[in-house]
Chains A and B, each alone.
Chain A
Amino acid sequence: MVSLSITKRLPGFTLDVSWEADDPVVGLFGPSGAGKTLTLQCLAGLVRPDRGRIALNGRVFFDSATGVDLPPQARRLGYVFQGYALFPHLTVEGNVAFGLRSRPREERIERTRMVLDRLGLAGLERRYPGELSGGQQQRAALGRALAVDPDLLLLDEPLSALDAPLRRQLREELGRIIREWGKATVLVTHDLAEAYQLADRIVVYESGQVLQAAPKSELLWQPTSERVARLIGVRNLLRGTVLKATLEIIQLRWRGQTLEAVNSPSRLFLPPPGTSLPFFVRPEYVRLIRKDRPGLDPGHHMNVMEGEVVGELDQGTTWTLLFRVNAPGALSRDSYDLEIEIPKLVYEILEVARDRWWQISIHRGSIQVLPSE
C-alpha cells in the first residue's frame, strides 16, 4: 500500500498531490511536465518534498511533521530511470550485481545469475550497455532494480526510449515481467494505452495536481471531469444544456435535439436546468439504424437523430464516420457533429459509401455526463 501526500515548489511549477493505492501496479498518467517523474523522485528519496508524508506498507519514508526523511539507500526500492541510466563502464553482469555489494559473494553470484536468466539476458553478461539493443537495455535496467529484491518497483517512462513498433511488443513483455515478479509497482507514462495495459489503477496528473485516481476501467468509462476526459483522449466530447435532472435521468438539449442520459449512480448530481454540461458518447456506441427493418423499437432505439455522413476516416479495421445532425445551428466541430465508429464489414453491408442519410440511435446509458467545471 503506497500512501503519498506531498507538496513541492519549484521555479514556475508547484506539485501538490495526494493519493493512496493498494493495487499491484499503479500508473501515473498525464502529459509531460505534469509532475509524474517528480513524484517518483520524491518516492525514491532523490528529491525532498517541501511538506507531506510518504509511506509504503506502513513504513514511513518521509514525514515533514516528524522530520523523517530516509535516504534512498534505506528505502529498499528499485528504480528504472527514463533512458535506463545503465552504468556504461560496467558489463550487464556488473550492472545487475551493483546493488548486491553488501551480500555474501555466493548469494551475489547466485542472485545475479537468477535475474539474468529470468530476464532472458543469459549470454549477454559480458556485454556493455552500449552494445545492447533497446529491449535488452530495458531488461538489464529492470534486472538491476529487481536484483536487490525491492519492496516497490518504480518505472519512469519504461518504454518511451524505444521506437514505436518495438514499444507495443515490449509493452506486453514488460507487463509479463512485472506480474511474474509480483513486485508492487508504480509506473509513469504519458501513453494511455501503456497505462491501461500495464496498470491496475491509474492516477491522472495535470500541472502538478491529481485530477482523478481510479481503477482503470472506471477511469475509462467514468472520467470525473472534462479535463480528465480530454487527457484520456475521449472522442465526441460535447456540450449541452440541462433541461431536467432527476436521480435517474438527465435531460439535455444539444443541437436542437433532446437527449436523455442516465445519471451516474455514483454521483448524486442534480444540476439545475439551464446549466451547460459537458458529456461524451463513445463512437462505437452510436448505432446506425438499419433501413431494411421497419419501424423503431423503443426498447433499443433511444435518442434518435437524423443526419448525414459527410466524411469517413479509414482506421484499418474500422471506419470512423463523420456525421452531421440534420438541424439548424452551429456544428460541434467545423464540418460535423459526431464521430461514429463501425467495423468495415458493417460499412459495406449498409453501403454507407453510397447511402449517406441515416437515423442514429444512442442508448441513454452510453451518454456520459460530466460535472461542469
Chain B
Amino acid sequence: MDLFPLWLSLRVSLAATALTLVVGIPVAWLLARKPFPGRDLLEALTVFPLVLPPTVLGYYLLVVIGGQGPIGRLLAAVGFELAFTWRAAVLAAAIGSIALLIKSAQAGFETVDQRLEQAARTLGRSEWSIFWAVTLPLAWRSVLAGTVLAFCRAMGEFGITLMVAGSIPGKTQTLPLAIYDQVQANQMGEANVLALIAVGVVAMLLFGLSRLMRLRY
C-alpha cells in the first residue's frame, strides 16, 4: 500500500499550520485589540475563503500563481516553482484553514483581561514582551484549539489543492486527493484503508492534545 499521500499530507499540513500561525496570530491580535480603519474589511477578508467553493478559490489562486499570472511570472523569473508543487498544496491548505485559527485566537485574545496587560505596561514591559508573557499564555487554549482545527482542515484540504497543485501521484497527490482518486477508480478497498488512516492519525492527535488542554495553565 503506497503511503506517500499520508506522508505528503502530514508534511503539507504541518507546514501549512506553521504558515497559518505566523500570519494568523498577528492578524487575530490586531482584530482583537484596536479598532482601526479598514478593520471590518480585514475581518471579512479572513472569512471569505470559507465562503467560496474551494474549486473556485483554487481557480482564482491558479490564475494568480500559475505560469500566466503576475505572481507566477515573478516567481518563475527567480526560478521558484510554486504551482503544481507541494508548496502550492501548502498554500492551498493554509488559505483554506487560516480563518479557523484567526477566529479562535481572536476570541481568546479578547477574553484576556486588559488590566493584566495594563499592569504589565506599568511594570515596564514592551508591547512585544507583553504579548508573549501575558496575552498569549492566557489565551493558549483558544490558540491551541484554533491550531488543531486548522491542522485538521489542512489535512482534509481538497478543492483548492486539486486546482493549484494538481493530483499528481507521487508528487502532489495528498491523502484526500488519493482517497478521491481511489473512489473514482472504484478501488473502494484501498480508499477505505486510506480514509481510516487519515481519520486515525487525526484522532490520535486530537486525543493527545485534549489531554494537554486539561492542564492548568
Residue numbers of A with Cβ under 8 A of B are: 44-46, 71-73, 75-79, 81, 83, 85, 87-89, 98-99, 101-102, 128, 144-145, 148
* B129 within 8 Å of A (CB atoms): yes
The 7 closest A-B pairs by CB, nearest first: A99-B123, A72-B121, A79-B122, A89-B217, A85-B115, A85-B119, A73-B124
A99 close to B116 (CB less than 8 A):
no
User: A101 vs B133: C-alpha distance in the bound complex, in angstroms?
Assistant: 11
How distant is A75 from chain B, measured CB to nearest CB, in Å?
8
Question: In the complex the two chains form, is B123's CB within 8 Å of A144's CB?
Answer: yes
Number of interface residues of B (CB under 8 A): 18
Which residues from chain B contact A76 at a C-beta distance below 8 Å? 124
Question: A87-B134, A101-B125 known; A72 and B118 CB under 8 Å?
Answer: yes
Give every chain A residue within 8 A of B129 (Cβ-Cβ): 101
A72 to B117, CA, bound (A): 11
Query: How many inter-chain residue pairs (CB < 8 Å) link A and B?
Result: 59
Output the least CB separation between A140 and chain B (Å): 12
Cα distance A159–B69 in the bound complex, in angstroms: 66
Cβ-defined partner of A78 (8 Å) among B115, B122, B133: B122
Known: A72-B118, A81-B119, A87-B116. A148 touches B124 (CB 8 A): yes
Mostly, the A contact residues are loop
Are the C-beta atoms of B217 and A73 separated by less than 8 Å?
no
A85–B217 contact, CB under 8 A? no
Residues of B within 8 A of A87 (CB): 116, 119-120, 134
Q: Which of B155-186 contact A (CB under 8 A)?
A: none
Contact between B118 and A46 (Cβ–Cβ < 8 Å)? yes
Q: How far is the CA of A128 from the CA of B129 in the complex (A)?
A: 21
Indicate with 1 or 0, residue by residue over B135-147, a CB within 8 angstroms of chain A CB atoms. Answer: 0011000000000
A-B residue pairs in contact (CB < 8 Å), sample of 18:
A72-B118, A73-B125, A76-B124, A78-B122, A79-B119, A81-B119, A83-B115, A85-B113, A85-B116, A87-B116, A87-B120, A88-B217, A89-B217, A99-B123, A101-B129, A102-B124, A128-B217, A145-B123
CA distance A45 to B120 in the complex (A): 12
Which chain B positions have C-beta within 8 A of A148?
A: 123-124
Which residues of chain A are within 8 angstroms of B137 by Cβ–Cβ distance?
89
Q: How far is the CA of A145 from the CA of B122 in the complex (A)?
A: 9
State the Cβ distance, A173 to closest chain B Cβ, in Å.
Answer: 22
CA distance A125 to B101 in the complex (A): 36
Q: Which of B118, B124, B125 has the most CB of A within 10 A?
A: B124
- Chain B residues with Cβ below 8 Å from A45 are 121-122
Residue of B nearest to A41 (CB): B118
When distances are taken between beta carbons in the complex, the residues of chain B under 8 Å from A77 are: 122
Cα distance A99–B217 in the bound complex, in angstroms: 21
Taken together as a complex, chains A and B put the C-alpha atoms of A370 and B124 apart, in Å, by: 46
B119 proximity list for chain A (CB < 8 A): 79, 81, 85, 87, 144
The residue among B115, B120, B122, B125 with the most chain A CB atoms within 10 A of its own CB is B122
Q: B128 to chain A: closest CB distance in Å?
A: 12
Flag if B121 contacts A89 (CB, 8 Å). Answer: no
- Which of B113, B116, B122, B134 sits near A72, CB closer than 8 Å? B122
Residue of A nearest to B216 (CB): A128
A46 cross-chain contacts in B, Cβ below 8 A: 118, 121-122
B138 touches A99 (CB 8 A): no
B139 to chain A, nearest CB (A): 10
- Taking each of A83, A89, A145, which has the highest tally of chain B beta carbons within 10 Å of its own beta carbon? A89
CB distance from B203 to the nearest CB of A (A): 29
- Complex Cα–Cα for A145 and B137 (A): 21
CB within 8 Å of A: which B83-119 residues: 113, 115-116, 118-119
Q: Give, as a whole number of angstroms, the nearest-CB distance from A366 to chain B.
A: 46
Q: Give chain B residues whose Cβ lies under 8 Å from the Cβ of A85.
A: 113, 115-116, 118-119
Q: Contact between B123 and A71 (Cβ–Cβ < 8 Å)?
A: no
Tell me, rounded to whole Å, the shortest Cβ–Cβ distance linking B39 to chain A: 21
Interface centre among A76, A81, A87, A145 (most CB of B within 10 A): A87
B217 and A98 within 8 A (CB): no
Complex: chain B residue closest to A74, CB-CB: B124
Q: What are the residues of chain B within 8 A of A44 when measuring CB–CB?
A: 118, 122
